[in-house]
Amino acid sequence: MKISDKVRRVSSGISEASVITATSTNKGILIRLGFPPSVIQEAKESDIIIAVRAQDQSSLDLAIQKANEMLESPEKISAGTEETSKLTDLDSALNVMPDANLVLLSIPGEHVKDISLKLIERRIHQQIFSDHVPIEDELEIKERAVKNGVLILGPGAGTSIINGKGIGFSNAVKEGPVGVVAAAGTGLQEVITLLDHCGIGVKHGLGVGGSDPKEKIGGLMMLECIKLLEKDPDIEVIGIVSKPPSPSIQEKIIEYISQEGKKKYVLAFIGGQQLHADRTGGRIIQVGSLASSVLAFAKHVGKEQFMKAGAATRISQQDLLNTLEKEWIKLRDAQKFIRALYTGGTFTYEAQVILSEILPGPIYSNAPILNIREMASSLTSEANSIVDLGEEEFTQGRPHPMIDPTIRKLRILEEAKDPQVGVLLMDFVLGYGSHPDPVGAALREIEEAKEISAKDGRYLSVISHVCGTTGDPQGYESSIGKLQSAGSVVLPTNAIAAVGAALVALRGKVDLEKIYSQYLTLGGELEDG
């Protein structure tokens, strides 16, 4: 993506530039971008394609020259310092930084085990972003790490915060009395950013990877992280953010924190039950959505923060209805479907949980939970579709959509052409590691999507959620402002955005009392207003 960006900037006469490996996904994207299929299809998997659209021959020549230069001298691409960009292996890096205490790995999953085990021998902690690490490798790594007192965050952990510093995809949040253990990357980002809006700081946010709370791994690192946070004197409230763990793991965790834990806890098992009358006299609160977990954290911290959390994470039922009625009255009768285009995996999951409670018809996804149907093809939506653009089929040979928004930009335009689509639902994740301007990058497509609909005599409702803080480099307020000026409704949490999309699609016919009680409040506290 870095080469593509640099090539794109070489002349103002270049409207599109992609320098990418010729995987089938990438070839499909280039064809959708309008490059001739016959030429693109000639490329083999091992080839690199330079695809440029330019207004004149000289811009085109400049672009191709730049791409060739950079492909021949990759060191020119790195934004790293002279000293560091020359390092190509871990041993050299350990010579340069012999007292390194954390290694962040984002390499193909098949290579993770060898490197990780060597690092464990040297007692070096690790955050592993890499996906596709075989589960047997994960178990071996984690068992050995526990024996040696080494912390393993991941595999599949994109986000962590240690002593207030973000590792991987993370946000600029205040430091404070909260520590979170998460097996849900964008879930962690949603929780810490919403807490930041309420004035509640986070000292540690430890991502353990989605497989950790499953039977095979047994919650090994989740439990170790809980023990670590218990021992940190600055931490007052510990949160666990995850899809519901395997029943036996959930029981193991609850048993540990009930019997051994001394601190206050929030268990946010997305889609799980809300439990308030617990066995610990209010020390442990269990909730079923990311937004309600923020209310629970705030309740533990103090009354003032709880009221602030209500204001920051919610919108009253009446205000939500009033805002969205202006959207649904413009739709034609046939426009009844939602197309959710997500970059965050946890947001996709949470939207499925909530929308499956509300929508009467079938829902499709490429990452379906139990009661959702699997899409026949991730590339083509049908009826109500909730698409996780960060899934494997979209990321093989290309960066994650939180880094490179191209794939979503194309999809926005395609969804707009379907006369049955009424609502586009999207997340925009700000922070370190993400695209420098995820909203700005999609703005032209949002406007064009609305134009496509308008030319066909339709209105297209766009509902967005921005996950970020005022300290994030992309600008939180300005990102919201840009979306609003492009005609998008922007809602304060992913959960409310999902409810909002359903309200528009069903023309207001949603049992809001029930949904608010289940996902947007703490068992009726802050029920409305």
Q: What is the dihedral of CA 90, 92, 96, 101, to 10 degrees?
A: 20
Q: Which is nearer to other proteins, 36 or 149 (CB)?
A: 149
> E strands within 243-344?
264-269, 284-287, 337-342
Single residue of 432, 443, 448, 507 touching other proteins by CB under 8 A: 432
Backbone φ/ψ region at 219: left (φ over 0), alpha (ψ -120 to 50), beta? left
Query: Per CB under 8 A, does 470 bind other proteins?
Result: no
Quick check: 326 binds other proteins (CB under 8 A)? no
Q: Considering only residues 72, 82, 89, 333, which one is a binding residue for other proteins as defined by CB under 8 A?
A: 89
Q: How far apart are CA 177 and CA 337, in angstroms?
A: 42
Binds other proteins by CB under 8 A, chosen from 101, 371, 380, 485: 101
Our CB check for other proteins shows the closer of 148 and 322 to be 148
d(CA 51, CA 431): 30
Q: Quick check: 74 binds other proteins (CB under 8 A)? A: yes
Closest by Cα among 433, 432, 429 to 408: 429
Nearer to other proteins, 96 or 311 (CB): 96
Which range in 77-85, 190-198, 294-302, 483-491 contacts other proteins by CB under 8 A? 77-85
Contact (CB, 8 A) for 404 and 394: no
Question: From CA 87, how far away is CA 49, in angstroms rounded?
Answer: 27
Rule CB under 8 A: is residue 83 a binding residue for other proteins?
yes
Please check whether residue 22 is in contact with residue 45, taking contact to mean a CB–CB distance below 8 angstroms: yes
Tell me which of 5, 15, 47, 96 binds other proteins, using CB under 8 A.
96
Using CB under 8 A as the binding rule, whether residue 100 contacts other proteins is answered as: yes
**Among positions 156, 245, 433, 468, the unique one binding other proteins when judged by CB under 8 A:** 433
- Give the CA distances from residue 423 to residues 335, 458, 467, in Å, rounded to whole numbers and listed in that order: 8, 12, 20
Regarding beta strands 14-21 and 48-54, do their DSSP bridges make them parallel or antiparallel, or are they unpaired? antiparallel
**CA separation for the pair 385, 383 (Å, rounded):** 6
Of residues 129 and 516, the one with the C-beta less far from other proteins: 129
Q: Please report whether residue 405 would count as binding other proteins according to CB under 8 A.
A: no
Q: Is residue 103 near other proteins by the rule CB under 8 A? A: yes
Q: How far is the CB of 232 from other proteins (least distance, A)?
A: 6
Name the minimum Å distance from CB 114 to other proteins: 10
H or E stretch at 28: helix 24-32
| Binding range to other proteins, per CB under 8 A, among 14-22, 90-98, 351-359, 449-457 | 90-98
Site for other proteins, residues 229 to 248, rule: CB under 8 A: 231-232
Are 301 and 236 a contacting pair, CB within 8 Å?
Answer: yes
Which one among 34, 134, 282, 473 touches other proteins, defined by CB under 8 A?
473
Sketch the per residue contact string, 189 through 228, with other proteins: x for CB under 8 A, - otherwise. ---------------x-------------------x--xx
Among 36, 134, 149, 481, binds other proteins (CB under 8 A): 149
Q: Give the residue, chosen from 139, 383, 403, 410, that forms a contact with other proteins under the rule CB under 8 A.
A: 403
**Does residue 88 touch other proteins according to CB under 8 A?**
yes
Residue 94 or 275: the one with the smaller Cβ distance to other proteins is 94
84 binds other proteins (CB under 8 A): yes
Please say which residue, 93 or 506, places its beta carbon nearer to other proteins: 93
Three-class SS of residue 308? helix
Q: How many residues bind other proteins (CB under 8 A)?
A: 59
117 near other proteins, rule: CB under 8 A: no
Q: Is 61 helix (H, G, I), strand (E, B) or coil?
A: helix
Between 327 and 437, whose beta carbon lies closer to other proteins? Answer: 437
- The answer to the question of residue 72 lying near other proteins (CB under 8 A) is no
**Interface with other proteins, residue 33, by CB under 8 A:** no
Q: Are 162 and 188 in contact (CB under 8 A)?
A: no
In the complex with other proteins, which residue's Cβ is closer, 2 or 216? Answer: 2
**CB-neighbour burial class of residue 12 (10 A; exposed 0-12, middle 13-18, buried 19+):** exposed
Q: Name which of 221, 498, 490, 470 is nearest 352 in CA terms.
A: 498
Told to check if 437 binds other proteins by CB under 8 A, we report: no
DSSP letters, 452-487, are HHHHTT---EEEEEEE--TTSTT-HHHHHHHHHHTT
Based on CB atoms, which residue is closest to other proteins, 185 or 368? Answer: 185
Provide the 10 A C-beta neighbour count for residue 202: 26
DSSP 491: -
| CB 156 within 8 Å of CB 128 | yes
Task: Name the minimum Å distance from CB 236 to other proteins.
Answer: 15
Least distance CB 423 / other proteins (angstroms): 31
- Its sign, for the CA torsion 465, 453, 499, 310, is positive
Please name the amino acid found at residue 103: V
Residue 97 as a binder of other proteins (CB under 8 A): the answer is yes
| Burial class (CB within 10 angstroms; exposed 0-12, middle 13-18, buried 19+) of 440 | middle
Binders of other proteins among residues 342 to 401 (CB under 8 A) are: 399
Q: Which stretch binds other proteins (CB under 8 A): 105-113, 239-247, 323-331, 521-529?
A: 105-113
**Binding positions for other proteins, rule: CB under 8 A:** 2, 74-75, 78-80, 83-90, 92-94, 96-97, 99-108, 111, 115, 123, 125, 129-130, 146, 148-151, 162-163, 165-168, 170, 172, 204, 224, 227-228, 231-232, 399, 403, 432-433, 473
